[in-house]
Structure 1
């Protein structure tokens, strides 16, 4: 499929299937995140993930988010996703609803036991009680993927508007040469 197949009224429509394929490729070698699926419906993003802390222990995590602040230009590429309720964690028949925040210990000695995959995940994912921020510039392979698809346009590409459509993320791109 060419990029023109994804254009809707001059905007780029990124279907949730494409996002899920990207997410699955991103976690392919990650032993912590076994599975991940994103659904976009009624202006909300539903994210379901299966996490594995050991061979015998798996957790299902469900998040419901909306779309708020974002930047996508030559200097900054991030999106903020406010949580629309507590995080649901399912573990062996228990359903736990909680607020979630992840803060890395500044002491490298204290982080020595932290799994490598989790440390890499926290390089581009900031989890606060009320929102999740994704820094696309820190995602391994993201800039290379864009460079491969967009070439020289990457440095001039900006996103002026993001919307959630039914089953898709609608991006209004703009090219800035100055």
Structure 2
């Protein structure tokens, strides 16, 4: 594996396990078997390394969502269609070995970490596309409400998929052991409910 890719992979794991603030460049360098000069040569700084970690998988999520959204057209699009398009690309990152990335982004989002600026623009563009489609499904609902739903869907998706095993441990019992597919399916159900909003009480 090339030095830059090895540094990104090691940093992704350490940042997710310990938190970005608790990981020094020296720790990344030692775990990757490189020297400090290599980190500065490829990334310039710790922030540059973090940006590289975040952007790599973010591009995969964005392209996956773009692909799924492109298939959704016409009046028959449902909240569940949008929930699938929102959640499944993150699941694909997990399946591709990106569990540490999902956990890291979820942790940074939960703490309001400014380091997410590297991918904020890309996510904002995709979120705007989802909000536009939600507006068609929920005419009359305030844009601020739809943005709130998007943010909650994002928090939930990253929290659950950032540690699927934790969710399984919380829910497992003898009569119904939960597997990863169960977790994802139920996550899509809940994101669907978030996108759909409360039932009409009129």
| TM-score normalised to structure 1 length | 0.24
More helix by share: 2
